[in-house]
Structure 1
């Protein structure tokens, strides 16, 4: 298997740098995320720095693991070690004559990329913010909440209503899914794994750390988004092993739910995020203005209850 270091490099407009593979090369004529083979004795980060300097004339000074992807093309097997670059210098140019462009994730078409890159595209299309519903007393309050969050331009919603019995939670989930489709929202339901057969077809599933601990093997999840809550390195590694699409890592700051000693702080968050091969959202005591610092610490985005709508 060929070990490849891959860079996700974003500009201030959240566009991602991609390069066109040369005709005649493996997967030639397709766009790809830049990078190259990890040589013997190199760390992934060192390989990333070398390849990006050689190919694009950019100097990477900081990056965090994003996801690992294994893929078998039939004639070649690859392990993509994908890192999210948070600090770099220089102006990108195709030093090897390759065409490059800055492309918004929403404009990426999977058929234009090698098959091994397509999971990266799916993850890059994750919204930068996740709103988690507060405890609500009645269904009309949920409608009002979703309308307000959509108006605030938040596109990913975790429906978390621990006070509801199963039948009521499923009723609320179906209502949220219908309204969410009209408002352009992606809904994930905070629920036990047992509810998967009863969930609305396109709704995602969010697992608590307790529910995550019950899983013995990755779920077969071809059609829905799967996330989880994590509070430690061990839980993040379990999330990675179970192939979740994202994890919420908390608490970053002191909040009433946890003792002050449990707060990670940004340095603790960055340390755990740097060791996690799964996209991580920062959660706990944050404001919407914290998005930039969260991303600089290795987060894909931020999540919260009280800061929305």
Structure 2
């Protein structure tokens, strides 16, 4: 296989609800498919420099503010590509196809209606996900107090929060009771609910997906739920990442990045390990373990989707 081709890619958001996509010319490789604007890096360019140049050349806009979103490696039959993806938060100008390509502003919730190259699928997923992944604390003072704690976290989260219902201290019957009540509450905040439980519980609780712990990954040889649900996986190593990707995980939580109060004896993997891990991942990565709100910009600069945790979102 030839050397890796580096490509700067822009996710251009307008009004927090729409983003810009372009259709590849029919004569191009993978012609007719939709893609996010961008292009190959010149040898002298950084990803951001290439992004600025490509957007002015392709769609006639000038970037005012952007942040790293995700880095995606993908192996095609004839080459490997590394997509350096940025989310454009503010720009100047009206977008149009300067090279004769069709461009279109589309609603975030309609992305599934458009056909993208395989390498773009992780970007499509990342665009649909928030940069914070809330994980509920263990219930310690009963259901009402726990739900009040959950509601406090949801009110402080952004739009369409992502929350994992985790309660390992509960027996199965009690978990069902708590998780069902939590799901009803979370849906009042347009949250997407992920059950830290066996996949069969999705038949009884109207949640949006399940989370598999690292030790559960080896129990499956294929994706255990339908694609209309989210599959979240915990991973601690490149080997577990490979298994999660074989199961077609929608995202992974990589941990522990830093030492945690719950596992003070465990040394954190560190920032360099997170960066190396994100460069290997083909799905969005949430950094987990000792995370605080002020770490968000740092983990995103290293290629992660965002942060996940308990204490950074909930007051115990």
**TM score, norm. by length of structure 2:** 0.73
**1:259 Cα deviation after fit:** 5.6
1:253 has 2:258 as partner: yes
d(CA) in 2 for partners of 1:162, 1:288: 24
Say which SS state the counterpart of residue 109 (structure 1) adopts: helix
d(CA) in 1 for partners of 2:21, 2:102: 6
| Cα distance change, pair 198–79 in 1 and its aligned pair in 2 (3 A) | farther
Contact 1:67 1:278 in 2 (8 A): no
1:130 corresponds in structure 2 to: 133
d(CA) in 2 for partners of 1:118, 1:277: 9
1:272 has 2:268 as partner: no
Contact 1:27 1:114 in 2 (8 A): no
**1:263 Cα deviation after fit:** 1.0
1:165 corresponds in structure 2 to: 171
Gaps of 5+ in 1: 38-44, 71-76
2:83 corresponds in structure 1 to: 83
Say which SS state the counterpart of residue 142 (structure 1) adopts: helix
Q: 2:226 aligns with which of 209, 221, 225?
A: 221
d(CA) in 2 for partners of 1:4, 1:190: 38
**TM score, norm. by length of structure 1:** 0.74
2:65 corresponds in structure 1 to: none
Gaps of 5+ in 2: 63-67
**1:274 Cα deviation after fit:** 0.7
1:34 corresponds in structure 2 to: 37
Q: 2:23 aligns with which of 12, 21, 24?
A: 21
d(CA) in 1 for partners of 2:193, 2:69: 30
- Please report the RMSD computed on the Cα atoms of aligned residues, expressed in angstroms: 4.4
Say which SS state the counterpart of residue 96 (structure 1) adopts: coil
Contact 2:195 2:207 in 1 (8 A): no
1:146 corresponds in structure 2 to: 150
Moved over 6 A (4+): 3-6, 11-17, 22-27, 49-52, 77-80, 90-93
Counterparts of residues 1-309 of structure 1 (less than 5 Å)? 8-10=9-11, 18-21=20-23, 32-34=35-37, 57=57, 65-66=71-72, 83-85=83-85, 96-98=99-101, 107=108, 109-110=110-111, 113-114=114-115, 116=117, 120-137=123-140, 138-154=142-158, 155-193=161-199, 195-196=200-201, 198-258=203-263, 262-309=267-314
**1:55 Cα deviation after fit:** 7.1
d(CA) in 2 for partners of 1:170, 1:233: 33
d(CA) in 2 for partners of 1:129, 1:210: 24
Q: Deviations over 1:139-182 (max 9, x none)?
A: 11232022101210241111110011111111212111111111
1:41 corresponds in structure 2 to: none
How many residues align? The count is: 291
**1:256 Cα deviation after fit:** 3.4
d(CA) in 2 for partners of 1:69, 1:205: 28
Contact 1:10 1:16 in 2 (8 A): no
Say which SS state the counterpart of residue 188 (structure 2) adopts: helix
| Cα distance change, pair 8–55 in 1 and its aligned pair in 2 (3 A) | closer
